């Protein structure tokens, strides 16, 4: 079974047999998978979950697959791999021009599909280091935790939602934005204001304490959000950023 922090793939196809085949194969290869049968399902899941890649069938009944791909690209920079018919070269070309990252023709080999999915994920992991994309972040993953900025939810390594106040959310976002870097109280204050939270200099220490109580195994001996005496705080964890 895939871990909570494994890449999360969304499969949109109206054929239940294809959805089941793809889901089973990807899960067997340690990927998380959600499925849907329509554009409505796709956008509802995108708004609710931090999705790493969308597999989108272009031939959904009663829907324009190209229009769905266009709308998805306008809303998010999530990678898109198209599922197309073998004789639909024009659709494949148009899909790539609209911003899709790759395509797989039906009938396809699950092994080939997995290889293409992994290749696209690798490309996006490299691109995630580019600073100009900072304003389009969708989620952070660190030490088994997932912070979804769109839904404003923090999910524990066990998959349990943890409530955060606006201030806690903003401070955790700031720490995840600069992992393994010491951030002074002034820096945390400035970065928190960018996220429109009510965080004030005198309350940062209190908010940090509350965050520790929610994410640290032992809040009295923090190992993730640590204090650098006289300097500030840092998140001691590798962080994966989703865009």
The per-residue pLDDT for range 8-65, each reduced to its tens digit, is 999 999 999 999 999 999 999 999 999 999 999 999 999 888 899 999 998 899 998 8
- pLDDT bin (cut points 50, 70, 90) of residue 4 is low
Q: What is the pLDDT of residue 21?
A: 95
Q: What is the pLDDT of residue 112?
A: 92
Q: What are phi and psi of 189, to 5 degrees?
A: -60, -45
- pLDDT bin (cut points 50, 70, 90) of residue 166 is confident
| Percent above pLDDT 90 for the chain | 45
Q: What is the DSSP string of the chain?
A: ---TTS-EEEEE-S-HHHHHHHHHHHHHTT-EEEEESSHHHHHHHHHHS--SEEEEES--TTS-HHHHHHHHHHH----EEEEEETT-HHHHHHHHHTT--EEEEES--HHHHHHHHHHHHHHHHHHTT-GGGGGG--EEEETTEEEETTTTEEE-TTS-EE---HHHHHHHHHHHHSTTS-B-HHHHHHHHHHTT----GGGHHHHHHHHHHHH-SSTTS-SSEEEETTTEEEE-S-EEEE-
**In the CATH scheme, what is the code of domain 135-242?**
1.10.10.10
Of 53, 52, 243, the residue nearest 132 (C-alpha): 243
* Straight-line distance from the first to the last Cα atom of the chain, in angstroms, rounded to the nearest whole number: 25
Q: What is the pLDDT of residue 129?
A: 43
- pLDDT bin (cut points 50, 70, 90) of residue 201 is very low
Mean pLDDT for the chain overall: 84
pLDDT at 200 over 50: no
C-alpha 224/C-alpha 142 separation (Å) is 10
Q: Report the top-level CATH class of 8-127.
A: alpha beta
C-alpha 195/C-alpha 113 separation (Å) is 38
Contact present, 239 and 140 (Cβ < 8 Å) = yes
Looking only at the bridges linking them, the beta strands covering 145-148 and 139-142 are antiparallel
Locate CATH 3.40.50.2300 in the chain. 8-127
Between helix 166-177 and helix 204-215 the angle, nearest 10°, is 80
Q: Kindly report, residue by residue over 76-135, the tens digit of the pLDDT.
A: 778 899 998 766 677 777 777 777 888 888 888 999 999 999 988 887 775 544 344 445
C-alpha 153/C-alpha 161 separation (Å) is 7
Locate CATH 1.10.10.10 in the chain. 135-242
Q: What is the pLDDT of residue 218?
A: 94
pLDDT at 221 over 70: yes
Between 232 and 187, name the one with better pLDDT: 232
Task: Work out the angle at residue 212's Cα, subtended by the Cα atoms of residues 201 and 144, and round it to the nearest 5 degrees.
Answer: 125
Q: What is the pLDDT of residue 25?
A: 96
Contact present, 107 and 144 (Cβ < 8 Å) = no
pTM (2 decimals)? 0.65
Contact present, 198 and 166 (Cβ < 8 Å) = yes
C-alpha 56/C-alpha 177 separation (Å) is 30
- pLDDT bin (cut points 50, 70, 90) of residue 2 is low
pLDDT at 146 over 90: yes
């Amino acid at each position: 079974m895939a871990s909570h922090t494994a890449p999360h793939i969304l499969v949109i196809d109206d054929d239940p047999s294809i959805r089941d085949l793809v889901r089973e194969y990807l899960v067997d290869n340690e990927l998380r998978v959600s499925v849907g049968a329509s554009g409505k399902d796709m956008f509802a899941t995108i708004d609710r979950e931090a999705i790493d890649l969308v597999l989108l069938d272009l031939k959904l009944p009663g829907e324009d697959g190209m229009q769905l791909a266009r709308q998805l690209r306008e809303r998010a920079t999530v990678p898109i791999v198209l599922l197309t018919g073998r004789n639909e070269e024009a659709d494949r070309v148009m899909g790539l021009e609209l911003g899709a990252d790759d395509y797989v023709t039906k009938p396809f080999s699950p092994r080939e599909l997995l290889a293409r999915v992994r290749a696209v994920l690798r490309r996006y992991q490299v691109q995630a280091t580019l600073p100009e994309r900072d304003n389009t972040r969708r989620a952070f993953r660190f030490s088994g935790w997932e912070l979804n900025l769109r839904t404003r939810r923090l999910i524990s390594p066990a998959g349990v939602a943890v409530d955060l106040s606006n201030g806690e959310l903003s401070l955790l976002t700031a720490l995840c934005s600069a992992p393994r870097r010491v951030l002074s109280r002034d820096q945390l204050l400035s970065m928190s204001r960018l996220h429109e939270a009510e965080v004030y200099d005198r309350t940062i220490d209190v908010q940090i304490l509350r965050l520790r109580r929610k994410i640290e195994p032992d809040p009295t001996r923090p190992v993730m959000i640590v204090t650098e005496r006289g300097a500030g705080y840092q998140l001691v964890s590798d962080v994966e950023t989703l865009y």
